[in-house]
Every structure is written in C-alpha cells, then in structure tokens.
C-alpha cells in the first residue's frame, strides 16, 4: 500500500477535505485534517449546496454516507424562480411534480452546508480534525513537511493535500500559475428568520431559490433549513472594487446606499436584503484559474477543490468538483495498480485537469451570460432548452 506508514495532512476542513479524510480512513490511512476554524461551530455556513449524481453524491455513496445525506437533505429546496429586477416571475418550477429521485442522473438534491459538514465530521475517527489550525508556513524537510500554524503549534507530515480553498496557502508549493479575474464581484449576506426580517423576499422564495437578473446584474437568494436566507448580489466592476469602495461592510445603511446607486433600476423590494441591522456583508472578487492549467506532479503534495481549480459559482460545480477530487485522489493513493506516490498523484491530477477544462468553460460561460445585457433572456433560453 502506497500510504503504509505515511502521515497524511489535509489542510482545510471543507466538504472536499473532509470527504477525502473519510475515504482515506476507510482504506486504513493515517490522516489528520487541519482546519482554521476554532471548532466545528466556528463559522456561519454559507448557502445551500446541490449535489450531483456523478460527483458529490457519488463521493458520499463511496464514503458510506448516502443514507445520512438522505436523512438531512432538504426536499424541494432546489425549486427555482427566475425573475427580473421588478420580481416579475419568468420561470417557476414550484408547482411541478417532484424534481427527481436518488439514482436519477438529473436529480440534484439540496443540503445546507452546516448539516453536510456535520455528516462528514461525525464520520471521522475521534481527533482526526485539529481545530484552530490556521496555517502560516510550510517547509520541506528531507522527504517530509513541517507545518507551522498561527497558534504557534507545528506538525510533521509525509504527504500534504491542500484543500484550503480559493486563497490556498498550499497552492504556491504546487504551482506558480495565477488566477485571472472573471470581471464579476459579489456581495454576500445572510439574514436570520427571513419570514420576519425579509417577508417579501421570503414569500417570493417559497423555501427554494431565486435568480434575479437585470441591467447586467444578478441577485441570487437561497432559503435555508434554519429559516434564514443567504444571498449574493453580483455585478461587473474592476478587480480593485472591494478595497476602493470605502464601504464599511458591517454598516447596513452604507451597503444599502451603495445598492440603491449600483442597482438603481431595481425594485425597492430588494432593499429588504439590507434591512436587518446585524448583517455582516462579505465581498468576494471572483477569480478563475486558467482552464488549460497543468503542472508537474510531485511525490508528496497536491491540491483539491478551489485550491486546485478556483472558479466562480455560477454552474453549481464547486463543491461537486471538490468531492469528486476527493474520491479520485483517494482511489489513486490507495490503488494496488499504481507503483509509486508520484504516479498516483499524477494520475489524479490529470483527471482533475481534464474535468476542469469542461466545467471551467461551463462556469465562465454562465458567468458572462448571466451578467450580460440580455442575461435574463439567455438564461431562460438555456432553462427551456434543458427542460425540452
């Protein structure tokens, strides 16, 4: 076994990293997950996730966690309304028959990030996750790695797997390739008890999702199982907007004033998204790794998820790509047909590169389409094509 007597360090406890840890532990590997969150409840988790048959669900099935997923997923949370800036509904599948069942290739069941994380964390052996482990540096020592964390602690590992997201600290040790700016920046917010704090949007959501398009801008809203909603406003701007705007993102009045100016043609109903005073908004500048990226495989370090193939979120592929990365990497590292670790990592990375070309093209196409002057029309044409 290639991993015999090897200590594996997975940097990052998101869905990809946790899925990989579970799959490797099932094969008897010695794994630690180093996560920067102080504990499992350290952060409010983001929007809902739709898992796909050939990737996210496949990884959970191989991990023996599909039954736990079925217990925790949210039926009908994938119901979608596509509206314009005035909330006029152009597409609505809330009254359609059930959108599918497990085993159907087109079925994409939704789950909140929190419950998914709980399923994965609970599946791991005790003390697998080392919380409060924010990496600050990595040093190669002979055939091992020394990891230094912000809290002053250190760890030694034989193999490093970077699952630490878009701004990965591990990526520079694997490749010097830099991402490019997609042209789109988003502002994310979360509103608790949406029925009380954003009643009009809550009623429009109907427990599902909203995609609103107008003036080359978007607002995407998702209902969550705890009664809250999560939303993203996306628009075209320069890559420096976040630092140049001068906005205090903890000041809802400032953010609302910005929204009124930037989304000046949009109905006042959207102002509800900024009415809850305790919302902390998070700006995100959306980048994408070059679709033709490749690098020379190494013997003891690689990347999965956004650390490997950062891209915008407009195709619903991020978490699914990460979990399929985890599955394919675990299969390579534990294969009896591969003779050494470098070959195992190279085989996984080649599969990942090939998938990213296709998924990245789809994502960048959707990103540009949705933020074009005819975004609503083009999106409706795409949905009608899929439904026929």
Phi, then psi, of 25 in degrees rounded to 5: -65, -35
CA 339 remoteness from chain centre: 33
Which residue is associated with the tokens 């209902």? Answer: 223
For the chain, the residue count is 388
Q: Does 284 belong to an annotated binding site? A: no
Q: Does 43 belong to an annotated binding site? A: yes
Query: What are the CB-based long-range contacts (under 8 Å, 24+) for 307-310?
Result: 307/12, 307/162, 307/163, 307/164, 307/165, 307/166, 307/168, 307/170, 307/171, 308/162, 308/171, 308/352, 308/356, 309/352, 309/356, 309/359, 309/360, 310/166, 310/179
Which residue is associated with the tokens 């909330």? Answer: 87
331 is written with which tokens? 């299969």
Which residue is associated with the tokens 């949905």? Answer: 383
- CB of 63 closer than 8 Å to CB of 26: yes
Torsion of CA 284, 49, 301, 348, to 10 degrees: -130
Burial of 238 (0-12, 13-18, 19+ CB in 10 A): exposed
Q: Does 92 belong to an annotated binding site? A: no
Distance CA 130, CA 98 (A): 41
Distance CA 19, CA 208 (A): 26
- CB of 25 closer than 8 Å to CB of 124: yes
| Residues β-bridged to residue 285 | 185
Distance CA 162, CA 286 (A): 20
Q: Does 306 belong to an annotated binding site? A: yes
CA distances from 72 to 58, 225, 254, 257, 382 (A): 17, 10, 37, 38, 30
159 is written with which tokens? 């193999």
- CB of 277 closer than 8 Å to CB of 133: no
| Residue stretches of the annotated binding site for NADPH | 43
| Residue stretches of the annotated binding site for FAD | 50, 113, 306
| Residue stretches of the annotated binding site | 43, 50, 113, 306
């Amino acid at each position: 076994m290639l991993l015999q007597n090897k200590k594996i360090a997975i940097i990052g406890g998101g869905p990809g990293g946790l899925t990989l840890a579970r799959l490797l532990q099932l094969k008897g590997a010695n794994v630690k997950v180093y996560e920067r969150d102080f504990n499992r409840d350290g952060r409010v988790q983001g929007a809902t996730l739709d898992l796909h048959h050939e990737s996210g669900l496949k990884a959970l099935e191989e991990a023996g966690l599909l039954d736990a997923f079925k217990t925790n997923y949210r039926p009908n949370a994938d119901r979608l309304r596509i509206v314009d800036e005035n909330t006029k509904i152009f597409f609505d599948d809330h009254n359609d028959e059930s959108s599918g069942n497990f085993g159907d290739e087109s079925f994409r069941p939704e789950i909140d990030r929190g419950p998914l994380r709980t399923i994965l964390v609970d599946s791991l052996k005790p003390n697998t996750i080392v919380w409060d482990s924010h990496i600050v540096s990595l040093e190669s020592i002979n055939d091992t790695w020394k990891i230094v964390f912000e809290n002053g602690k250190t760890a030694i590992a034989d193999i490093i797997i970077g699952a630490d997201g878009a701004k990965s600290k591990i990526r520079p040790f694997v490749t010097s390739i830099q991402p490019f700016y997609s042209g789109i920046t988003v502002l994310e917010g979360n509103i608790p008890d949406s029925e009380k704090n954003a009643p009009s949007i809550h009623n429009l959501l109907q427990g599902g999702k909203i995609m609103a398009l107008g003036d080359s801008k978007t607002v995407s809203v998702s209902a969550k199982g705890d009664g809250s909603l999560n939303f993203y406003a996306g628009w075209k701007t320069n890559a420096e907007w976040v630092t140049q705007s001068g906005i205090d993102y903890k000041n809802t009045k400032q953010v609302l004033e910005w929204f009124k100016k930037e989304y000046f043609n949009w109905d006042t109903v959207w102002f509800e998204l900024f009415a809850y005073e305790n919302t902390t908004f998070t700006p995100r500048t959306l980048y994408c790794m070059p679709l033709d990226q490749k690098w020379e495989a190494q013997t003891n370090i690689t990347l999965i998820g956004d650390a490997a193939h950062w891209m915008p979120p407009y195709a619903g592929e991020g978490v699914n790509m990460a979990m399929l990365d985890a599955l394919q990497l675990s299969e390579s590292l534990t294969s009896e047909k591969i003779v050494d670790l470098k070959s195992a990592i190279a085989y996984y990375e080649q599969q990942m590169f090939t998938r990213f070309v296709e998924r990245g093209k789809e994502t960048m196409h959707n990103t540009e389409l949705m933020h074009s002057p005819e975004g609503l029309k083009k999106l409706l044409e795409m949905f009608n094509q899929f439904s026929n």
